[in-house]
Amino acid sequence: MRRGMGGFASGVTVVTAIDGGDPVGFACQSFASLSLDPPLVLFCAGRQGRSWARVRAAGRFCVNVLGEDQVDLCGRFGSTDGQRFAGLDWERSAWGAPALPGALLRVHCSLEDVHHGGDHDVAVGRVLGLDLRPDGRPLIFHRGRFGLDHPQPATAYGWGFGDRWG
Protein backbone atom coordinates (compact mmCIF):
# COMPACT_ATOMS: atom_id res chain seq x y z
CA MET A 1 0.00 0.00 0.00
CA ARG A 2 2.73 2.48 0.96
CA ARG A 3 4.65 1.86 -2.26
CA GLY A 4 1.56 2.12 -4.42
CA MET A 5 0.36 5.34 -2.80
CA GLY A 6 3.85 6.76 -3.20
CA GLY A 7 2.96 7.10 -6.87
CA PHE A 8 0.58 9.91 -5.96
CA ALA A 9 2.53 13.18 -5.80
CA SER A 10 1.66 15.39 -2.86
CA GLY A 11 2.63 18.66 -1.32
CA VAL A 12 4.38 18.71 2.04
CA THR A 13 3.17 20.57 5.10
CA VAL A 14 4.15 20.99 8.72
CA VAL A 15 1.26 21.07 11.20
CA THR A 16 2.11 23.15 14.29
CA ALA A 17 0.47 24.07 17.59
CA ILE A 18 1.24 25.25 21.12
CA ASP A 19 0.55 22.68 23.83
CA GLY A 20 1.32 23.40 27.47
CA GLY A 21 3.24 26.52 26.43
CA ASP A 22 5.59 24.56 24.16
CA PRO A 23 5.60 24.48 20.35
CA VAL A 24 4.89 21.13 18.72
CA GLY A 25 4.69 20.04 15.10
CA PHE A 26 5.00 17.25 12.57
CA ALA A 27 5.47 16.84 8.82
CA CYS A 28 2.31 15.86 6.97
CA GLN A 29 1.61 15.01 3.32
CA SER A 30 -2.11 14.32 3.62
CA PHE A 31 -3.52 17.86 3.59
CA ALA A 32 -6.43 19.10 1.49
CA SER A 33 -9.11 21.73 1.19
CA LEU A 34 -12.44 20.26 2.30
CA SER A 35 -15.01 23.05 1.96
CA LEU A 36 -15.18 26.67 0.85
CA ASP A 37 -18.38 27.45 2.79
CA PRO A 38 -17.70 27.09 5.61
CA PRO A 39 -13.93 27.20 5.04
CA LEU A 40 -12.62 23.79 6.13
CA VAL A 41 -9.41 21.85 5.55
CA LEU A 42 -8.35 18.36 6.53
CA PHE A 43 -5.20 16.41 7.23
CA CYS A 44 -4.53 12.85 8.32
CA ALA A 45 -2.25 11.97 11.22
CA GLY A 46 -1.09 8.63 12.62
CA ARG A 47 -3.21 7.79 15.65
CA GLN A 48 -0.15 6.76 17.65
CA GLY A 49 1.81 9.94 16.94
CA ARG A 50 2.90 11.88 20.04
CA SER A 51 2.90 15.20 18.21
CA TRP A 52 -0.59 14.64 16.83
CA ALA A 53 -1.92 13.98 20.34
CA ARG A 54 -0.48 17.33 21.46
CA VAL A 55 -1.82 19.22 18.42
CA ARG A 56 -5.23 17.68 19.06
CA ALA A 57 -5.12 18.73 22.72
CA ALA A 58 -4.19 22.30 21.73
CA GLY A 59 -7.37 22.72 19.69
CA ARG A 60 -5.81 25.30 17.34
CA PHE A 61 -3.12 24.68 14.76
CA CYS A 62 -1.37 26.07 11.71
CA VAL A 63 -0.78 24.11 8.52
CA ASN A 64 2.46 25.46 7.01
CA VAL A 65 2.65 24.55 3.30
CA LEU A 66 6.35 24.18 2.47
CA GLY A 67 8.14 25.57 -0.56
CA GLU A 68 10.68 23.63 -2.62
CA ASP A 69 13.45 25.48 -0.77
CA GLN A 70 12.31 24.05 2.60
CA VAL A 71 13.39 20.41 2.42
CA ASP A 72 15.35 21.03 5.64
CA LEU A 73 12.14 21.90 7.51
CA CYS A 74 10.51 18.72 6.26
CA GLY A 75 13.47 16.72 7.54
CA ARG A 76 13.42 18.49 10.89
CA PHE A 77 9.69 17.91 11.47
CA GLY A 78 9.66 14.44 9.93
CA SER A 79 12.30 13.16 12.32
CA THR A 80 11.78 11.51 15.69
CA ASP A 81 14.01 14.10 17.36
CA GLY A 82 11.98 15.96 19.96
CA GLN A 83 13.89 19.22 19.41
CA ARG A 84 12.13 20.24 16.21
CA PHE A 85 11.91 23.94 17.14
CA ALA A 86 15.44 24.25 18.58
CA GLY A 87 17.24 27.13 16.85
CA LEU A 88 14.31 27.74 14.51
CA ASP A 89 13.11 31.32 14.04
CA TRP A 90 9.30 31.06 14.20
CA GLU A 91 6.53 33.41 15.22
CA ARG A 92 3.30 32.89 17.13
CA SER A 93 0.36 33.68 14.87
CA ALA A 94 -2.56 35.87 15.93
CA TRP A 95 -4.45 32.59 16.47
CA GLY A 96 -1.79 31.18 18.78
CA ALA A 97 0.00 28.50 16.75
CA PRO A 98 3.59 28.60 15.47
CA ALA A 99 3.86 30.06 11.97
CA LEU A 100 6.99 28.88 10.18
CA PRO A 101 9.13 31.36 8.25
CA GLY A 102 9.08 31.18 4.46
CA ALA A 103 6.07 28.85 4.15
CA LEU A 104 4.18 29.28 0.86
CA LEU A 105 0.88 29.22 2.69
CA ARG A 106 0.00 29.24 6.38
CA VAL A 107 -3.53 28.07 7.18
CA HIS A 108 -4.60 28.99 10.72
CA CYS A 109 -7.32 26.71 12.09
CA SER A 110 -9.37 25.58 15.04
CA LEU A 111 -9.99 21.85 15.34
CA GLU A 112 -13.55 21.27 14.13
CA ASP A 113 -13.80 17.48 14.20
CA VAL A 114 -11.78 14.25 14.19
CA HIS A 115 -12.78 11.03 12.41
CA HIS A 116 -11.11 7.64 12.78
CA GLY A 117 -9.74 6.08 9.61
CA GLY A 118 -7.90 2.85 10.34
CA ASP A 119 -4.51 3.63 11.88
CA HIS A 120 -4.94 7.36 11.20
CA ASP A 121 -7.21 10.17 12.34
CA VAL A 122 -8.76 12.55 9.84
CA ALA A 123 -8.61 16.01 11.41
CA VAL A 124 -10.99 18.68 10.13
CA GLY A 125 -9.97 22.28 10.75
CA ARG A 126 -12.08 25.43 10.48
CA VAL A 127 -9.99 28.06 8.71
CA LEU A 128 -9.55 31.20 10.82
CA GLY A 129 -7.06 32.97 8.57
CA LEU A 130 -4.54 32.54 5.75
CA ASP A 131 -1.09 33.94 5.02
CA LEU A 132 -0.03 33.52 1.38
CA ARG A 133 3.52 34.05 0.12
CA PRO A 134 3.16 35.55 -3.36
CA ASP A 135 6.08 33.68 -4.92
CA GLY A 136 7.79 30.32 -4.73
CA ARG A 137 7.09 26.76 -5.80
CA PRO A 138 5.71 23.98 -3.59
CA LEU A 139 7.75 21.17 -2.10
CA ILE A 140 6.50 18.00 -3.81
CA PHE A 141 7.01 14.43 -2.57
CA HIS A 142 6.70 11.60 -5.11
CA ARG A 143 7.92 7.99 -5.01
CA GLY A 144 10.08 8.59 -1.96
CA ARG A 145 11.79 11.68 -3.39
CA PHE A 146 11.33 15.43 -3.38
CA GLY A 147 10.52 17.37 -6.55
CA LEU A 148 9.33 16.53 -10.02
CA ASP A 149 11.62 16.12 -13.00
CA HIS A 150 9.39 17.78 -15.59
CA PRO A 151 7.30 20.74 -14.41
CA GLN A 152 4.30 21.46 -16.64
CA PRO A 153 2.83 24.84 -17.62
CA ALA A 154 0.18 26.32 -15.35
CA THR A 155 -3.47 25.41 -15.97
CA ALA A 156 -6.29 27.90 -16.30
CA TYR A 157 -7.52 29.37 -13.01
CA GLY A 158 -10.43 27.52 -11.54
CA TRP A 159 -9.53 24.03 -12.70
CA GLY A 160 -9.91 21.39 -10.03
CA PHE A 161 -12.32 23.19 -7.75
CA GLY A 162 -15.16 20.87 -6.75
CA ASP A 163 -17.87 22.60 -8.79
CA ARG A 164 -16.76 20.65 -11.86
CA TRP A 165 -15.40 17.45 -10.36
CA GLY A 166 -17.75 16.40 -7.83
Q: How far is CA 114 from CA 53, 117, 139, in A?
A: 12, 10, 26
CA atoms within 13 A on the CB side of 94: 7
Q: In which domain, by residue range, is 73 found? A: 11-133
Q: Which residues contact 154 (CB under 8 A, 6 or more apart)?
A: none
Bridge partners for 132 per DSSP: 105
- Residue 144 forms part of a structural domain: no
pLDDT higher than 60, residue 128: yes
Higher pLDDT, 154 or 7: 7
Give the pLDDT of residue 6.
64
pLDDT digits (tens, 9 = 90+) for 53-106: 999 999 999 999 999 999 989 889 988 877 899 999 999 999 999 999 999 999
Q: Using CA atoms, how far apart are residues 88 and 83, in angstroms rounded to an integer? A: 10
- Please check whether residue 64 is in contact with residue 24, taking contact to mean a CB–CB distance below 8 angstroms: no
- Residue 145 forms part of a structural domain: no
The values of phi and psi at residue 71, to 5°, are: -55, -35
Exposed/middle/buried for 94, CB within 10 Å: 0-12, 13-18, 19+?
Answer: exposed
pLDDT higher than 50, residue 164: no
Higher pLDDT, 148 or 58: 58
- Residue 52 forms part of a structural domain: yes
- Residue 37 forms part of a structural domain: yes
- Please check whether residue 63 is in contact with residue 125, taking contact to mean a CB–CB distance below 8 angstroms: yes
* CATH number of the domain bearing residue 23: 2.30.110.10
pLDDT higher than 90, residue 144: no
- Residue 96 forms part of a structural domain: yes
- Residue 165 forms part of a structural domain: no
Bridge partners for 3 per DSSP: none
Q: Using CA atoms, how far apart are residues 2 and 12, in angstroms rounded to an integer? A: 16
- Residue 166 forms part of a structural domain: no
pLDDT digits (tens, 9 = 90+) for 149-158: 655 555 555 5
Give the pLDDT of residue 23.
97
Q: Using CA atoms, how far apart are residues 66 and 73, in angstroms rounded to an integer? A: 8
Bridge partners for 5 per DSSP: none
Give the pLDDT of residue 80.
80
Give the pLDDT of residue 141.
82
- Residue 160 forms part of a structural domain: no
pLDDT digits (tens, 9 = 90+) for 35-55: 999 999 999 999 988 999 999
The values of phi and psi at residue 165, to 5°, are: -120, 15
| Total structural domains within the chain | 1
Question: pTM for this structure?
Answer: 0.86
